[in-house]
Amino acid sequence: MTDKDKNKNKNQNKDEKSKTSKRRDKSKVEHNHWADQIASEVKKKVDENPQLKKVVKEIGYYLVYDEKTPSGTIHVGSGRGWVIHDAIAKAMRKAGMKAKFILSNDDIDPYDKPNKELDESWNKYIGMPFRNIPSPVEGYENFAEYYFMMCVEKFEELGIEAEVESTGEQYEKGVFNKAIKKVLDNYEKVQQTYIDMYGDDVEAGKKIPFNIICEKCGKIATTLAVKWDTKKELLNYECKKGESVVTWASGCGHKGQISPYNGNGKFPWKVEWPAKWISKGVMCEFAGKDHFTKGGSRSFGVKLSNELFDFMPPYPSNRFMTGKGYEFFQIGGKKMSTSKGRGVSFVEMTKILPANLIRFLLIKPRPNSVIDFDPYDDNNITFLYDRYDKAERIYFDEEKADEKEKKIQSRIYELSHVGEIPKKMPIQIPLKFAAIVIQIAMNDEEKAIEILQNMKHLPKKLEGIGRHNVLERLNNAKRWINKFASDNYKFKLNEKINQKELKLDHKVKKALQLIVKRLEEKTWQDKELHDEFYNICKELELETKEFFKGTYVLLIGKEKGPLLAKFILAVGLDKFRELVEQL
């Protein structure tokens, strides 16, 4: 590259940065949600690039793409990428852009390490493509389909609108044939790209960048391409024994010659990524930030896309900048890993939170923000529900917000909601209060609804979607209490009182008797009743601390508990009087 070319690239780089900066400044003024901002930037990028404009016109839509290797149970971190891409595609469609989110199952990748969920008998398949390995469970075509579909089967529940495809089938259909020929005809350029990025000693800089599936043993990880016949378009390969290709699998020694096309093999990952961009016409594709590190697979893909394929890489990259991937989704401070079997799986997450809360958790922060969620941390759960409820109230104008917050919170709610958004705001029962009521009702949802109706939190006639929403929140509260909540939020209402063990001060007993009397006189609101507690304590010259402590002991055998006024109203006069009368 001449000095003139280098200067030209530098100037273009500056121009790209300047354009990006201007777009971001404008989006900040407009207070757009990040998904809408990305949709706008992708459209602008395409509009300004004749090559991309032609691609979109030819395929008929803006392609938002993602892919996953199904090496085992897929962790929830991958789900962040799927929801991000789903939100972007939705934002594009809202902006009048025809858009599709396609998720590819990278099922032709090799099984490269033992799966912690399977016994040693499965190790015989190491080195083979996932799609050619039997499914661990009946009812699925192969290993890859089983682990992949475990997640895809949850997409409707989570409101993820994605078309699903198999990378192996794409190879078989010839989708990548042009890219395969381009790479093999110019494999020395690809080798040089490896050398430029990783140094003269990098092994990939000495190999022809394509892996054939061995015709004899079926392994793909152990084959080495040794000669490419440009005229016949045939590839000579060897299935190497020992550790000459990879350290974790050994081949059979077979030597052969075969066409690389139509599913007979695949690219190495770093070459496959940009080959997919040009073969599929990808306009937007994020990935985890580890792929976007300096010298990472995205950097390599951008360089190869630019220098070999002469194709503008998808957003958030361009010809000169890699851009940024999305941050990690951590559970309790630990990065998720499929291959290491660590963390919460994508499917398990749907057993922790309802779909709209999962989407809210993933859609509220920008993609470059770390998400650290711990289901065993009370605040993580309760604050998440409270924030979702607040966004819902703002969306339905039940809570005031300035113009900026109204726009952002409403959009977050729209993108988090699964299914059709209701015409009026659903009945809200805060999670912590729902947890109190369901425990008082001894996990009986119908009894819990009756308690809420008696407290005027619900109408006497509750049916249809309203009833469904209340039952869902009660069940969410029950799940939280039974599986994740700390003892601070758990209790069991006393049935009988042991006076010898209780030992309440006579002033506390007198205060409790006065509370019963006050409750019999009229209907109370919780704040009003709370103030009455202090009036009674003042009247009896009783320390409020002693009063609260004694009342909680009477009710649940603990010195602390839920907000007392609301708690007593939920327990109800009859039950409260029954306990006080045992003193």
At 333 the pLDDT is: 59
Pairing of strands 211-212, 265-266: antiparallel
Phi-psi domain of 99 (left: phi exceeds 0; alpha: psi -120 through 50; beta: other): beta
> Residue 199 carries which side chain, given as an amino acid letter?
G
- Give the side-chain half-sphere CA count within 13 A for 531: 4
Domain boundaries, the chain: 1-26, 31-200+268-372, 211-259, 431-489, 499-580
Place of tokens 């391409």: 225
Q: How far is CA 372 from the centre of its chain?
A: 12
Eight-class DSSP state of 350: T
At 8 the pLDDT is: 45
At 383 the pLDDT is: 97
CA 203/CA 195 separation, integer angstroms: 9
Task: Note the pTM of the prediction, 2 decimals.
Answer: 0.90
Which stretches in the chain have pLDDT values below 50?
1-29, 335-342
CA 69/CA 273 separation, integer angstroms: 13
DSSP 560-580: --S-HHHHHHHH-HHHHHHHH
CA 316/CA 324 separation, integer angstroms: 7
Helix (H) / strand (E) containing 306: helix 297-307
CA 248/CA 425 separation, integer angstroms: 57
> Residue 536 carries which side chain, given as an amino acid letter?
I
Secondary-structure breakdown of the chain: helix, strand, coil percentages, each rounded to the nearest 5: 50, 10, 40
At 24 the pLDDT is: 44
Helix 445-454 and helix 431-440, axial crossing angle in degrees, nearest 10:
110
| Closest by Cα among 305, 366, 331 to 37 | 366
Query: pLDDT tens, 30-89?
Result: 568 999 999 999 999 999 999 999 999 999 999 999 999 999 998 888 899 999 999 999
At 583 the pLDDT is: 86
At 341 the pLDDT is: 40
Which value, to the nearest 10 degrees, does the dihedral of the CA atoms of residues 369, 372, 377, 381 take? 50
Arch. (CATH architecture) of 499-580: Orthogonal Bundle (1.10)
At 30 the pLDDT is: 57
Q: What is the CA radius of gyration of the chain?
A: 31
Compute how many other C-beta atoms are within 10 angstroms of the C-beta atom of residue 499. 9
At 336 the pLDDT is: 41
Pairing of strands 234-239, 223-229: antiparallel
CA 503/CA 320 separation, integer angstroms: 76
Top-tier CATH class for 31-200+268-372: alpha beta
Are the C-beta atoms of residues 529 and 568 closer than 8 Å to each other? yes
Instruction: Please give the sequence-ordered ranges of beta strands (E in DSSP) within 91-188, or none if there are none.
Output: 99-105, 163-166
Are the C-beta atoms of residues 363 and 87 closer than 8 Å to each other? yes
Pairing of strands 223-229, 62-68: unpaired
